[in-house]
Structure 1
Amino acid sequence: MEHFVILLAGRMEPTPALRAAIEGGRVIAADDGIRHAAGLGLAPELWVGDFDSAPQQPPIALAGIRRETFPRDKDKTDGEIAIEAAIALGATRLTLVGALGGPRSDHAFAHFILALRYFHQGLDIALEDGAESALPLSATPRRVDLEPGTQFSVLKFSNVRGLTIEGAKWPLDNVDLPFSSILTQSNEAAGPITVSVAEGDAILLAQCDPSVR
């Protein structure tokens, strides 16, 4: 499995858990995501984007990085370009770093949509920033090792059928929910949880254990 780490411009806390999640991955930076490279001790092999928000030059330690420049007026985001570059290089697993928080909520929303798109194309994909983790869901039960008391939500992007949550304070068993329902907001893990969705688009969003930040 070829693992690529995509550095995006949102929030990032260089926690031990985040470092473990990206260990061994090849790295591509999207525009201002380059600023996370030094904090994580990474040397991207490629830096892409329109560079409207990134420094004109990367830190001196990254001065030799290969750059691919795109016009500002384009029909793809810099993150989307970085993901597609990784796929062209053989990626089958993606970790999007800095995808969840930041100054623009529309960027975080776009990253959820991209995660679902590429997950449905068969890629193993996760969104991480050291404060939160997110994973697309499917009919295959997904076990996530959470500490007791960890807060999590299931974010829906369509109507869902057959939502099952095990190992939580408020479990669900094969429940159908409309897109407009917020029943799956702010659940609490009793320990490791297992989540699946028979039909529909949904993402598990979990808070990271603050004791290991």
Structure 2
Amino acid sequence: MSRFSILLAGHIAPTPALIAAVEGTRVIAADDGLRHAAELQVTPELWVGDFDSSPPRPAIELTSLPREPYPRDKAMTDGEIAIEAALTRGATGLLLVGALSGPRSDHAFAHLILALRYAARGVDVELFDGIERAWPLGPDRRAFDLAPGMQFSILKFSDLSGLTISGAKWPLDAVDLPFHSILTQSNEALGPIAVTVRQGTALLVAQADPKVR
């Protein structure tokens, strides 16, 4: 699998776990996401965006970085452009870094939508900022190696059918939930968990294990 890390402008904690996750991947920076490169100890192969929020003076070792500028008035976000650039270069897996928070909540929401979109196209997608991790969910049973006591939630983007959660303090067995239900908020792992969504659109958001941050 060709795995790319996409550096986005949201907040990150450059923990050992995040640095290890990015290590060995190919890296593309989206606009102000470039500021994460130094603390993650990587040099992107490409920097894209309209550069309206990028650092005015990137680190000296990044001044020769290949750039693809775009107009500010455009139909795609900088993160979307970076993801498409990765796919053009053969990406089959994406690690979205700095996607889960930031100075604008609409940007974080857009990143969640993008994660769901590309996962639906068969791309392996993970979001990680050093503090929280997130993964799109689907009809295939998926296991997640969470430590006992770790908090997690299922974020719904539609009504869900056949939601099953095992290995949690509050398990569910093939439950149907409307979009407006908050039943899946703030669950607790007893150890590794498994989640299946027979039909619907959702993500799992979990705390990173503090012992390996």
1:149 to 2:145 alignment: no
Report the TM-score, using the length of structure 2 for normalisation.
0.98
8 Å contact from structure 2 (residues 151, 186) kept in 1: yes
What SS does the corresponding residue of 2:5 show, helix, strand or coil? strand
What SS does the corresponding residue of 1:55 show, helix, strand or coil? coil
Partner in structure 2 of residue 81 of structure 1:
81
Partner in structure 2 of residue 31 of structure 1:
31
Unaligned runs of 5+ in 1: none
Partner in structure 2 of residue 47 of structure 1:
47
Identity %: 68
Partner in structure 2 of residue 133 of structure 1:
133
**Residue type of the partner of 2:26?**
R
**Residue type of the partner of 2:99?**
A
**Residue type of the partner of 2:89?**
L
Report the TM-score, using the length of structure 1 for normalisation.
0.98
C-alpha distance in structure 2 between counterparts of 1:212 and 1:127, whole Å: 17
Partner in structure 2 of residue 97 of structure 1:
97
Unaligned runs of 5+ in 2: none
**Residue type of the partner of 2:70?**
F
8 Å contact from structure 2 (residues 22, 40) kept in 1: no
Which range is displaced more, 111-120 or 58-67? Answer: 58-67
**Residue type of the partner of 1:59?**
A
**Residue type of the partner of 2:162?**
G
CA shift at 1:18, angstroms?
A: 1.1
Partner in structure 1 of residue 187 of structure 2:
187
Which range is displaced more, 154-163 or 13-22? Answer: 13-22
C-alpha distance in structure 2 between counterparts of 1:91 and 1:23, whole Å: 15
Moved over 6 A (4+): none
* Alignment: residue pair count: 213
**C-alpha distance after superposition, 1:163-200 (max 9, x if no partner):** 00010000001000000100000000000000110000
C-alpha distance in structure 2 between counterparts of 1:142 and 1:62, whole Å: 38
**Residue type of the partner of 1:48?**
V
**Residue type of the partner of 2:67?**
R
**C-alpha distance after superposition, 1:51-95 (max 9, x if no partner):** 000023421011111000000011100000000000000000000
- Where does 1:1-20 land on structure 2 (aligned, <5 Å)? 1-20=1-20
Partner in structure 2 of residue 177 of structure 1:
177
C-alpha distance in structure 1 between counterparts of 2:19 and 2:57, whole Å: 25
